[in-house]
């Protein structure tokens, strides 16, 4: 059965960040991040929120494994978190996409 640490590890690999970089972004020690990834410790909700932001995902996905976003608000939050890593060109493309009728 997949647990939060398994999902963190999978997203970490996809992101291209190192474990140390992710720990810095989230505001925890590298040792704490290692414990989360190995499912030896459960992260506090604030850490889960920071992980979701850093890994461009949702808290719901990290906690439950559900990847389907049903509400408009959830989609807006996910897009808003993702924009911090977009280039100016990518942001313009996103704006153009949103303005299409």
For residue 71, give every residue at least 6 positions away whose Cβ sits within 8 Å of its Cβ, in sequence order, or none. Answer: none
- pTM of the entire structure? 0.68
Q: Distance (Å, rounded) from C-alpha 91 to C-alpha 93?
A: 5
Cα separation values, 43 from 2, 33, 60, 81, Å? 16, 9, 14, 20
Q: Give the 3-state secondary structure percentages of the chain, helix then strand then coil, rounded to 5.
A: 70, 0, 30
Q: Distance (Å, rounded) from C-alpha 89 to C-alpha 4?
A: 33
Q: Where do the domains of the chain lie, and which CATH numbers do they carry? A: 4-99 (1.10.260.40)
**Tens digit of pLDDT per residue, the chain (101 long)?**
789 999 999 999 999 999 999 999 999 999 999 999 999 999 999 999 999 999 988 898 899 887 655 567 767 766 776 777 778 888 888 888 878 75
């Amino acid at each position: 059965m997949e647990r939060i640490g398994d999902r963190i590890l999978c997203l970490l690999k996809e992101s291209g960040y190192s474990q140390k970089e992710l720990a810095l972004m989230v505001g925890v020690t590298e040792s704490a991040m290692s414990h989360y990834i190995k499912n030896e410790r459960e992260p506090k909700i604030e850490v889960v929120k920071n992980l979701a932001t850093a890994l461009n995902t949702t808290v719901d996905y990290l906690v439950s494994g559900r990847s389907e976003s049903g509400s408009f608000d959830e989609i807006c939050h996910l897009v808003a978190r993702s924009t911090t890593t977009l280039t100016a060109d990518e942001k313009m493309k996103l704006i153009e996409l949103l303005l299409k009728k």
